Amino acid sequence: MVGSGVHILRRLILLTSILTILAYPVLSITLHELKLEILSQVAHGLFNKKKITIYLADNSFIEKKKDANKMGIVFVDNCSSADLIVAGSLKHLSKDCLKKTIFATNYPLFKNRHTIGALFWQKGRPVLILKKRALERKHLKVKKYLKKYVH
Amino acid sequence: MFVKGKGIAAILGLLFIGFVNISSASNLSSLLGEYSQLGDLSQKTKKEAAGNLIVFTRADLDRMKIKTLAELINYLPFMRYYEDETNLSSIGYAPYQYGTFNPLIIYINDREITSPFFGNGFQIVSKIDLDFIDHIEVYLGIPSYDIGIHSSHCVIKLYTKKGYRENSTVLGSYYGTYNTNSEYISAGKGSENLSYFIYFNRKFLYRKRLHHRVDDRVYDLSRDLNYYNFYGELDTRNFRVSGEALWTDLDNFIGRSWDITTKKANSKFRYLSGSIDYFSDDKSWKISLSYSNYLTRGEQKSDGPMGIIQVPPIYLTYNNFYLKLGGKLVDVNVEKNLKFGKNELLVGIFGRYKGFNFKSYKTYIEGLGTLDFKLPSYNREYVYDLYFENKYLINPKNIFMLSLKSEKHLLNGGIRNYTLFGAKTGYIFNNDKITFKTFLEYKTNPISSYVLFRQAYLGGRRVSPSQSSGGSIELDYRKANSKYSFLFIENFNKNFIYFDGRSYNNHNYSIIFTGLSLKYRYNFDPFNKIELSGWYLRANHMPYLSKKLTGLLGDNIKTKNFNYFGAYISLFNKIGNFSLFNSLSYRGIFNDNRPSFNLCSTIIYNPTDRLTIYLKGINLLNRGVTTTYIAINPLTGKVSTLNHVQPIDRTVWLGVEYTF
């Protein structure tokens, strides 16, 4: 057994030294950055403004990144001053905020009449849906690239 | 080469059809496609540092329309899919070596799928449809203990669909070759705080019938399988409660007939299982409890003999038997994760009770009536594990790990208790571009209850647990849309258990497996990709049954070196509402069986968001992996063979799915 261990070790060391030469780091997009980008596209497809204020009522959905500014998004701490509320639940929203444009982050809340649409998972895939009637009630006209998501 | 001229052009045309006019997805569509990949559940469950990992994501499985684990083996390095003479799945089939070698351990979530007597979960789940599975992780070698406590040469983890990821009710059906048909329904809803998922599947799998001629009589050998499968799961943030029920009716192909004169070979299997898992909020505690109940009824009849029964003072051959075998399995597992300094320590204990009971095992002999087999009293086993694993994080990119395990097996019926030991050490480097892993491992392997029981029945001498030691190196290199993977393994197996025709023995030679695998993947965009893979495995001193058999089987066990090769090319494409998957894989054994080429193709069409129509073909060239079955009459020395039998038939299925 000792002999076989030495044999393996010798091969491992040889291959390790060849292969590790290739290693060097690069950057790639994270899940939160990706969700932020999707959210930015949805927000800008709904509102014709350069800077859109968003109140995040679902902290698990996305991290409040400072570089959101580059995507024309400003996160606010008060829902009353937000153009768009991103929520996973309506529990902590005041009555005034419930009248605002609410975008859901899960399926059960998508079914709620207060929301205009959602990004949720269905059949293991992310689905973006905007509710036609809810958008009409809010007098929101979506940009062309969002129309295929309106149902 | 069997594929020539027009054949090659046709295959390449089919493979590359997806590259014609690939439509560029819009920006938001692309982002959602990337979200689908980055947000895949496997990103939460997979543990890169846990071993040499291959992941089949939800998107992969959906687009390949992989129905069974038997199909999946096609895309794993170093493996070939076989079925033994009783139509049970296997990864290393050799005649008369039933139950000696089980390289795969299967888990559904954290529940090990195994059976108390045969100890082989792959045989239970390999042929059932996987429409209730979200994604699959394959760990080659001994993975980390937070993946699975019991391991062999490979661990396959099947992760079930979650209600909060489904939010739909799906009704599906497919129909195809030899009148195979399957219907399934699944429903899942909820949020991560509370969700449920339920699934029911009924499948009638009809296979190509094989015939064996003996003198003027032709024997019809069936490999059909009918089953009903139910799975249900309730998830909260802290608990997972799941239940599964499986009823199968399996035709046992050749069965145990010594001269392939099988008239009837059938078994009915019922499997009921329930489990509950608790996870603390900070995920530092995990407690699991599971209970499984098994019942097998088997009946076989043949014209010729299939075994010997002792009727004192003489021995007689018999040509039929009926058995009813029950079994229970209870698993308890408690794990605690501790963090101190740069260390992450996992400590766990595991306990298992397994019991089996032959409620009936009898044969009918003309003139003597019904005779019961006199069976050993061994019917119970307790297994206790104590294990720990420490990961030392030099920094988030560099990890050293060390794991140790001790496992005690306490058996009744005069079978000697034994203790197993496992150790693994490794180094993992991981950044956005490179993943480098190297592991050294040593372990002793459990002996299946089937082998111990049969050895006691045959009166053979005690066999010892086999030992495995080995190492691996893996390098994954990612650049832009490309990923290159390299894997080298070497594994030494000492005291390998094999059946020599009279009883089980420990093999004198150390069997050495040396493997090399290369894989390349290129993502054109989130919906289009190509994968190329090739591997080589050398197995030295494998116990081998010589084809020039005369006399008793035991005199004909030789050792032989095998050189296995495998490769595949797979293409995933999306064109408008069509999704295409095409794959051509190759398996070959140097200087032995003819090489196999397996062409698989799946075309999925979504006319609406709710409706899916798909056409799926497996082994379209009818040149898949083949097995030669050998049956021996030890009294006469007569050898009967069945050559070039494909465990995976040429199959075409047309399916439809509707989402409510």
What residue type is B658 in one-letter code?
A: Y
- Count contacts between A and B (CB, < 8 Å): 129
The pLDDT of residue A9: 53
Task: Give the Å distances, CA to CA, from B13 to B7, B9, B16, B90, B570.
Answer: 10, 6, 5, 34, 13
pLDDT band per the 50, 70, 90 thresholds, residue A23? very low
pLDDT tens per residue, range A86-137: 999 998 888 889 999 999 999 999 999 999 999 999 999 999 999 999 999 9
Model confidence pLDDT, tens digit, residues B72-112:
998 999 988 989 999 999 887 666 677 777 889 999 999 99
Inter-chain touch B38–A123, beta carbons under 8 Å: no
Q: CA–CA distance from B215 to each of B205, B260, B354, B429 (Å)? A: 31, 12, 46, 64
The answer to whether residue B216 neighbours chain A at the CB level (below 8 Å) is no
Least confident of A17-26, A75-84, B609-618: A17-26
Which residue on chain B is closest to A122 by alpha carbon? Answer: B166
* Sequential DSSP letters for B432-496: SSEEEEEEEEEEE-PPPHHHHHHHHHHTPPPPPPPEEEEEEEEEEEEETTEEEEEEEEEEEEES-
In order along chain B (660 residues), what is the average pLDDT of each group of 10 residues?
47 47 58 90 87 92 94 91 91 72 89 92 94 95 83 90 96 96 96 95 96 93 97 97 97 94 96 97 95 97 93 91 97 96 95 96 94 94 96 92 96 95 94 93 93 90 92 93 95 87 82 94 92 93 54 54 90 95 89 81 95 97 89 85 91 96
Which contiguous run of DSSP H or E holds residue B62? helix B58-64
Query: How far A91 CA lies from chain B's nearest CA (Å)?
Result: 14
| C-alpha triplet B517, B519, B522: angle, nearest 5° | 175
Is residue B237 less than 8 Å (CB to CB) from chain A? no
Q: How far apart are CA B405 and CA B420, in angstroms?
A: 8
Helix, strand, coil percent values for chain B (each to nearest 5):
10, 60, 30
Crossing angle of helices A31-46 and B27-38, in 10° steps, is 150
Residue B508: how many other CB atoms lie within 10 Å:
11
Alpha carbon of residue B213 to chain centroid? 32
pLDDT for residue B18: 45
Contact between B470 and A8 using a beta-carbon 8 Å cutoff: yes
Distance of alpha carbon A122 from alpha carbon B187, whole angstroms:
11
Overall residue count recorded for chain B in this entry: 660
Q: Which residue has the higher pLDDT, A26 or B147?
A: B147
Which pLDDT belongs to residue A14? 57
Contacts of A109 in chain B (CB under 8 A): 191
φ, ψ of residue A13 to 5 degrees: the values are -60, -45
Cβ atoms B74, B55 nearer than 8 A: no
- Using a CB–CB cutoff of 8 Å, tell me whether B164 touches chain A: yes
**Chain B closest CA to A94's CA: distance in Å?**
22
* pLDDT for residue B146: 81
Q: Is B341 left (phi over 0), alpha (psi -120 to 50) or beta?
A: left
Interface of B with A in 527-586 (CB under 8 A): none
Mutate to test the interface with A, among B167, B487, B517 (most CBs of A within 10 A): B167
Question: How far is the alpha carbon of A120 from chain B, nearest alpha carbon, in Å?
Answer: 8
Whether residue A19 and residue B436 make contact (CB cut-off 8 A), yes or no, is yes
pLDDT tens readout for residues A36-47: 999 999 999 999
Judge whether residue A27 has pLDDT over 70: no
CB contact under 8 Å between A24 and B434, yes or no, is yes
